[in-house]
Amino acid sequence: MASDDWRRSLVLKHGLLKTLVGILAAACSCAQEAQQYGGVGSGKWAVKDQPATVETYRGKACLAVSRQASPVLKELEFESGTIEMDMALSLQGEAFLGVDFRIESGGKRYERIYFRPHASETPHAIQYDPHFNGYSNWQTYHGPLYEGNVALPPDGDWFHVKIEVVGSQARVFVDDAPEPQLVVRDLMSGSSAGAVGLWGTPTGAYFADIAIRPSDDSPATQPAPTQGAPRQAFTLAPGAITQWRVSEPFLIPGDSTQRADDIRRRMEEADYADWGEVQPEDEWGLVNLNRLVLDRPAGNATVLAGMVLHANEGQRRQLLFDSAEGVVVFLNGQSRYAGDDLGNGPAWRVNPDEHRVELALEKGRNELVLAVSSRSFGWAFLARLSDPSGLVIKPLTGVE
């Protein structure tokens, strides 16, 4: 009899345990559902403080996005988690659509991952594009660390996107792929939090079935990077120049040839002691001015970047360089090279060794100054010497 009572007690306890497990599972499920944001019909998406309009495209309720209308979800401070949705682009030809996240207050610094359907099944189909001070940097950050290859529908059909964000890393999956088509290992914002937005240009971008699920998996101890600070260790390429000092930005009208005289005047009047030091971002000595200059003027923004070459004898060296847009190269106050739209060649990107100029160095001290300009988004440069032997490279301070 005691044995039967024990069995009945065990059955009751087992049933109670199953009930408790079911309640806890349901509670967890409800909690997870409560943490999902961004539904198309939620009324939480806004365009310039006005509710975003819900439309229908190819059978789905969706948000339409264009250059003039980019909805932002302001109910959520997103740091880490999953951003998932369907996307479609009705416009044929060169057009783009994607997601912004960690949008800081003021909307000038954030992360962007976007897609180029016209570049489907090429290494440029997916692009990671961090924005600093309101400017895009896709010309500066490219290649396998920042771009991915994937097949995207060419006919305006829907495709599914999932972006997993944890700390300083993001993984991008398209159409439920088992492995990510892009892994960003170094998000430029570090572990900051901010709003989520939708982006498309010039027009015809649609977003449906949006589900944003925040998590608390990000490393709380990881600080956001300072402006211009490199975030990963690297070994410099031979001859890469890293000893630049950079002036405050200014505006120069006209093409690079017309600018030379005005730039030379500014060089003569410059107080090098006021110029700021910079740190390279990669092995080629990349300097991203969008990241460094906090108050970039609208128009043809220009800075002077200078350094000193001490030569043990008179000699000639090749300067290998590239820029997103315009560069004028001065050696000892004389213009040696002037070019516009350097980054707008076949690749449309900043690449090592794209351009070169011969430097006739005098014995002793030689001042090398680059005037780097940008009218639009990319504003960056890199430079190295083909052979640095016999040279001592120092920052340009005006004091020996």
Q: How do residues 114-159 score in pLDDT, each as one tens digit?
A: 999 999 999 999 999 999 999 999 999 999 999 999 999 988 999 9
Of 358, 319, 322, give the one whose Cα is nearest residue 342.
Answer: 322
**What's the pLDDT at 238?**
95
pLDDT at residue 274 tops 50: yes
**What's the pLDDT at 106?**
87
The mean pLDDT of 360-369, rounded to a whole number, is 97
Give how far Cα 59 sits from Cα of 12, 71, 75, 87, 184, Å.
Answer: 51, 21, 27, 13, 33
**What's the pLDDT at 256?**
57
**What's the pLDDT at 257?**
61
What mean pLDDT value characterizes the chain? 86
Per-residue confidence band for 34, with pLDDT thresholds at 50, 70 and 90 = very low
Residues contacting residue 268 through CB under 8 Å, at least 6 positions apart: 333
What b/e string do you get for 69-80 counting C-beta neighbours within 10 Å, with b at 16 or more? bbbbbeebebbb
pLDDT, tens only, 377-388:
889 999 999 999
pLDDT at residue 235 tops 50: yes
**What's the pLDDT at 99?**
98
pLDDT at residue 258 tops 80: no
**What's the pLDDT at 363?**
97
**What's the pLDDT at 149?**
98
pLDDT at residue 44 tops 60: yes
Of 68-72, 157-161, 216-220, minimum mean pLDDT range:
216-220
**Structural domains of the chain in order of their starting residue, each with its CATH number:** 40-215 (2.60.120.560), 245-395 (2.60.120)
